[in-house]
Structure 1
Amino acid sequence: MTTATTNLAETIGQELRLPDIDPEYYVYAVYDQASCQACVDACPGKAWILTEESLGLDTDSCNGCGLCVSSCPSGALHMHFPWTIRHFGGKPLALFACGQAGLPDSKDVMPCVHALGTRQLMVMHTAGITDLLIAQGDCSSCPMICDRSILLQERIEHLNRLLSERHLAPMKLLSYSNAVWRKIYKQEEIISRGTLLKRRDFLGGSASRKLKQQMVILNPLNRSECQTIPPGALLPDAISENGRSWPWAPRFESTQCNGCDACIRLCPTDALQLSNSDGKAAYLIEEKYCTGCNICAD
């Protein structure tokens, strides 16, 4: 292989591992004084650089782990997720493997399984996938993990508390060896029933971003509609008011509110709304549409 060909291959490989960026959903595109630095905090290689003027990515330092994707509240960052579904125990099973698991190179191996965030887990649950089988290496010595990283197990525990309030089946991480993963992976692939997403679930900052009709989506993890949807929008209301909680939820401190409506105007997902009932103005909180971007607090 010539030097030029080698350099081209390295350049292509580097670009493929970089996250896709949708500037329309940047928190800073909504409010340039936002305090969000979730991608910076999540990055083990310190590839994301945040200054008072800009947010940038040092492409040479990016290892493609995808941890910034799972941490981004607004869904502005994306990566390709494998959609590998097999039958196991009479149920559909989603398989994910990291590059440190010692498995043969495959399109179904991702750099780091901890790139699966709350949004991706909730999309899978809506698609009828409640069992996950993970093949991974030793996370304690992996360069793609840092002490600030939120691990997949933690996200699943948080999600299961929300599912329990709604009497929904929990997400399960099956504990089997990587050899068993390979054996199940070799089975015939199945097509899952997809995920049914209602138009009400696609609230964005503008009407043009709202879905006009219901869709059944196969391979939902890689659909643009599912990459930015607030995870709570896929959760039904809790069975009782006492058990009503959501992935994120804003709260008003009424004694400090001066009624300027700035939070209402800036909220990109309509989680905060203004009501004028019977001539009386009031703020409404739609917790299910909150993504935790923190713009309202800023």
Structure 2
Amino acid sequence: MSLSPGWFKQLKQEWVIPEVIPERCVHSLCEVASCTRCVDACPQEAWLLDDASLKIDTSRCDGCGLCVAACTESALVGNSPVVEITPAINRRQFLRKALVFSVEDSMAPPVALPLIPFVPMLSLANCNGCDACIKLCPHQALQLENSDDEQTLAYRIQAEHCTGCGICRDVCERDAVEVRQMQPVNQQVGNTTIPLVQARCKACGSHFHYPADGNAVKQHCRICAQTNHHRQLFQVY
């Protein structure tokens, strides 16, 4: 059996080893990122993730492209998965399927609210206002808003910008951030504003802010509260 002259070139084009775009991969943006989408999607276990880097074993990769499709950050360049197309059906089969679908639609329950793929949720009781999630979010799904008169501050959660990378959750030292999936759109989900209380630390005098949580009042910034600095400031040894 003879092979066409360009068979090797065609095979090389179809079998592409995925490459990582560092500026998009969450592991390049955050050392404590816990995203494992490409690792979990690979049927050949070709992706290797450790504390230092994300690598691929080219001897195992078959170029299927499932990791490329699984990455919500578009941080991988390679082949897209092959999609199987349903064969064409004749007129009789089409009418039969249409009748089945019409009966199923008439028996279906009311249409539910549209869903948002990823929604960051903030625990007001746990958040200490460090702004780590705000500063590291690569898509500005979490923002710190300042009023025109600079008298009021607020956190704004724009879920439509969230890709579910999980950096906000991974960097939170208080476990105050949760990323939920497939949430229905309502008043509590989507574009949410969380008012912030502005205060001045009674120990070090620095200005800080934290989410308004009922009648809870904080007198010390997160640094002084964590180190008990306000208790040791005037202690004599």
| TM bucket normalised to smaller | 0.5 to 0.7
Which of 129, 132, 147 is the aligned partner of 1:262? 132
Q: Distance in 2 between matches of 1:290 and 1:267?
A: 9
Alignment deviations for residues 240-274 of structure 1 (CA, whole Å, 9 cap, x no partner): xx936412111111111000000000000111100
Structure 1 counterpart of 2:135, which letter?
A: R
Q: Distance in 2 between matches of 1:285 and 1:245?
A: 16
Alignment deviations for residues 6-32 of structure 1 (CA, whole Å, 9 cap, x no partner): xxx49x728942124311101012111
Q: Distance in 1 between matches of 2:13 and 2:57?
A: 11
Indicate whether 1:112 and 2:82 are aligned: yes
Indicate whether 1:274 and 2:140 are aligned: no
**CA contact under 8 A between 2:47 and 2:56: conserved in structure 1?**
yes
Ranges of 4+ aligned residues in structure 1 off by more than 4 Å: none
DSSP-derived class of the 2:116 partner = coil
Indicate whether 1:292 and 2:157 are aligned: no
Indicate whether 1:253 and 2:223 are aligned: no
DSSP-derived class of the 2:145 partner = strand
Bigger Rg over Cα: 2
Please, which runs of 5 or more residues in structure 1 have no aligned partner? Answer: 82-110, 114-133, 136-175, 182-241
Structure 2 counterpart of 1:65, which letter?
A: C
Map 1:40-59 to 2 at 5 A.
40-59=39-58
Q: Distance in 1 between matches of 2:31 and 2:13?
A: 29
DSSP-derived class of the 1:263 partner = helix
- Relative distance call for 1:15 and 1:80 in structure 2 (3 A) is closer
Alignment deviations for residues 129-183 of structure 1 (CA, whole Å, 9 cap, x no partner): xxxxx43xxxxxxxxxxxxxxxxxxxxxxxxxxxxxxxxxxxxxxxx42xx39xx
Alignment deviations for residues 101-151 of structure 1 (CA, whole Å, 9 cap, x no partner): xxxxxxxxxx533xxxxxxxxxxxxxxxxxxxx43xxxxxxxxxxxxxxxx
Structure 1 counterpart of 2:142, which letter?
A: L
CA deviation after TM superposition for structure 1 residue 284, in Å: 0.3
TM-score (norm 1): 0.43
Q: Distance in 2 between matches of 1:23 and 1:52?
A: 15
Map 1:183-198 to 2 at 5 A.
none
Return the structure number with greater strand share: 2
Structure 2 counterpart of 1:26, which letter?
A: C
Please, which runs of 5 or more residues in structure 2 have no aligned partner? Answer: 90-111, 171-237
CA deviation after TM superposition for structure 1 residue 71, in Å: 1.1
Corresponding residue number in structure 1 for 2:18: 19
Pairs aligned (count): 142
DSSP-derived class of the 1:248 partner = strand
Corresponding residue number in structure 2 for 1:60: 59
Map 1:127-276 to 2 at 5 A.
134-135=84-85, 176-177=86-87, 180=88, 243=113, 245-276=115-146
- Relative distance call for 1:273 and 1:244 in structure 2 (3 A) is farther
Identity value in percent? 46
Structure 1 counterpart of 2:41, which letter?
A: A
- Relative distance call for 1:57 and 1:14 in structure 2 (3 A) is farther
- Relative distance call for 1:61 and 1:14 in structure 2 (3 A) is farther
Map 1:71-82 to 2 at 5 A.
71-81=70-80
DSSP-derived class of the 2:119 partner = coil
Corresponding residue number in structure 2 for 1:211: none
CA root-mean-square deviation: 2.9
TM-score (norm 2): 0.53
